[in-house]
């Protein structure tokens, strides 16, 4: 990890580091050695795939399990792992491996990337993160290997187990079944469904929450909010999808498999990107419902995108407080600082803007219905990877729009704006107050 000057804001370094990883991945994926047929891959498609992997999204223009060679799949796995952990986290891992001390600038960047408030906690948190990642992905890969072994053979079972475990834990959504099938061949398979969804949930709640749970002590407010919001969204998502799709995509399944498929489809919009049902056939109400879940996304410090569960929870509780004429936002008998509340509303507004513009431009460049285009943009912003089947058929301009949207969704619109914004000197002069009419 190179020593970086303190004068560069951490937000800018995060953005630049992601871009560097994406470009490197695109170059590698475009090489003949990365494709199964030994021919070079179109650079735009290679860049789209690298961007999707690094942003842990899962939208693909190429049939992953068919187009890429073993080398290409290994490159994808590395990009997914770097993207899920974050480049700074991954590079700091190399610092720990080679036992080199971290500079102050590097600790400040890690504080920004991991939402840590103390520089002294950086190395401790990082060690916990890598222990957690190693064990959880390893156990998940072993379970999936044993499941795939009878039908795939040893080598393919290893590939399927490791690839899907890493992809699921990092909420990437890349899968190997051919014809862009995702995990639809395993819609009724309890082992595959429960293993993948468990990995998705653990990766999505955030490393700090996992570490907090494993300490077996009193949970922090952050952990309580993340777990409560996650549980609520999973329950609402499962019930909602079950009701909306009962007589549609769920109709061929037995009742127990209807429940399983509904649960799976409730988990994956939380930025995972796998699907066990054909989303191109869902009713419009289900598409809107899934877009709502994709917009919320995972939790801070995790491997997913979206506005985050805590942001959603604070906005909802603040609105409830305003309706009850409460001055403060109260969560679990704790008062949330006003600057945190303002930041939450800012993230929501910026997220809506980051979605509205791509949808508008996509309706101009793509000759497709509005619903699948909007679904694609929501999926890209939430770094989810779910699609109604239009990704391979996007125009070059449409692919670029989705690439930009995925990138904004991964680094965060607020982080991106802070990186690009011109710094203004603080002033102690406060202008006079004056009200305006609202509502």
Decide: 420 and 31 in contact? Cβ < 8 Å. no
Of 268, 252, 253, 201, give the one whose Cα is nearest residue 229: 201
- For 398-421, what is the mean pLDDT? 81
Q: How confident is the model at residue 226 (pLDDT cuts 50, 70, 90)?
A: very high
Task: Looking at mean pLDDT, say which of 7-11, 27-31, 130-134, 205-209 comes out highest.
Answer: 27-31
Q: How confident is the model at residue 327 (pLDDT cuts 50, 70, 90)?
A: confident
pLDDT in tens, 165-206: 999 999 898 999 998 889 999 999 999 999 999 999 998 888
- For 332-360, what is the mean pLDDT? 92
> What is the residue-averaged pLDDT of the chain?
86
Tokens of 257: 């498999």
Decide: 194 and 202 in contact? Cβ < 8 Å. no
Angle between helices 221-245 and 309-323 (to 10 degrees): 90
- Cβ–Cβ contacts within 10 Å for residue 370, how many? 11
The DSSP secondary structure of 125-190, one letter per residue, reads HHHHHHHHHHHHHHHHHHHHHHHHHHHHHHHHHHHHHHHHHHHHHTT-----STTT-TTGGGTT-H
pLDDT in tens, 233-275: 999 999 999 999 999 999 999 999 999 999 999 999 978 889 9
Q: How confident is the model at residue 75 (pLDDT cuts 50, 70, 90)?
A: very high
CA–CA separation, 371 vs 284, rounded Å? 8
Report the percent of the chain where pLDDT is more than 70: 84
- For 408-434, what is the mean pLDDT? 67
CA–CA separation, 128 vs 211, rounded Å? 7
Place of tokens 């998705």: 200
pLDDT for position 74 = 96
Place of tokens 């293993």: 195
For residue 132, pLDDT over 90 is answered with no
Q: How confident is the model at residue 93 (pLDDT cuts 50, 70, 90)?
A: low
- Listed in sequence order, the residues at least 6 apart from 100 whose beta carbon sits closer than 8 Å to its beta carbon are none
pLDDT in tens, 59-71: 999 999 999 999 9
pLDDT for position 432 = 82
pLDDT for position 418 = 63
- For 95-112, what is the mean pLDDT? 54
For residue 4, pLDDT over 50 is answered with no
- For 422-435, what is the mean pLDDT? 64
Is the pTM of the predicted complex or chain greater than 0.75?
yes
Of 34, 44, 29, give the one whose Cα is nearest residue 70: 34
For residue 289, pLDDT over 90 is answered with yes
């Amino acid at each position: 990890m190179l020593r970086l000057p303190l004068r560069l804001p951490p937000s800018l370094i995060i953005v630049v580091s992601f871009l560097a990883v994406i470009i490197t991945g695109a170059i590698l994926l475009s090489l003949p050695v990365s494709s199964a047929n030994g021919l070079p891959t179109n650079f735009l498609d290679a860049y789209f795939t690298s961007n999707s992997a690094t942003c842990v999204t899962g939208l693909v223009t190429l049939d992953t399990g068919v187009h890429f060679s073993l080398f290409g799949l290994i490159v994808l796995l590395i990009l997914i792992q770097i993207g899920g952990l974050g480049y700074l986290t991954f590079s700091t891992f190399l610092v720990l491996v080679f036992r080199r001390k971290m500079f102050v600038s590097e600790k400040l960047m890690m504080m920004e990337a991991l939402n840590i408030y103390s520089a002294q906690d950086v190395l401790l948190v990082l060690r916990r993160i890598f222990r957690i990642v190693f064990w959880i992905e390893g156990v998940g890969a072993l379970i999936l290997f044993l499941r795939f072994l009878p039908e795939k053979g040893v080598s393919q079972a290893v590939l399927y187990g490791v690839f899907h475990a890493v992809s699921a834990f990092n909420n990437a959504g890349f899968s190997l079944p051919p014809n862009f099938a995702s995990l639809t061949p395993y819609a009724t398979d309890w082992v595959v469904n429960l293993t993948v969804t468990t990995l998705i949930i653990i990766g999505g709640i955030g490393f700090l929450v996992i570490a907090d749970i494993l300490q077996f002590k009193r949970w922090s407010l952050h952990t309580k909010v993340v777990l409560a919001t996650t549980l609520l969204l999973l329950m609402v998502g499962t019930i909602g999808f079950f009701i909306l799709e009962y007589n549609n995509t769920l109709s061929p399944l037995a009742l127990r498999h209807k429940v399983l498929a509904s649960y799976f489809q409730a988990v994956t919009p939380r930025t995972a990107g796998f699907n066990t049902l054909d989303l191109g056939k869902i009713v419009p109400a289900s598409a809107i419902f899934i877009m709502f879940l994709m917009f919320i996304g995972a939790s801070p410090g995790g491997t997913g995108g979206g506005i985050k569960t805590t942001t959603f929870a604070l906005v909802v509780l603040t609105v409830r407080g305003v309706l009850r004429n409460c001055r403060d936002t109260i969560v679990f008998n704790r008062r949330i600082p006003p600057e945190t509340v303002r930041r939450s509303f800012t993230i929501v507004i910026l997220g809506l803007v980051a979605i509205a513009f791509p949808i508008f431009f996509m309706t101009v460049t793509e000759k497709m219905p509005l619903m699948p285009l909007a679904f694609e943009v929501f999926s890209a912003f939430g770094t989810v990877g779910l699609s109604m089947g239009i990704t391979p058929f996007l125009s070059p301009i449409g692919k670029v729009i989705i690439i930009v949207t995925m990138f904004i969704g991964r680094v965060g619109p607020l982080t991106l704006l802070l990186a690009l914004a011109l710094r203004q000197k603080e002033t102690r002069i406060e202008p006079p107050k004056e009200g305006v009419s609202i509502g």
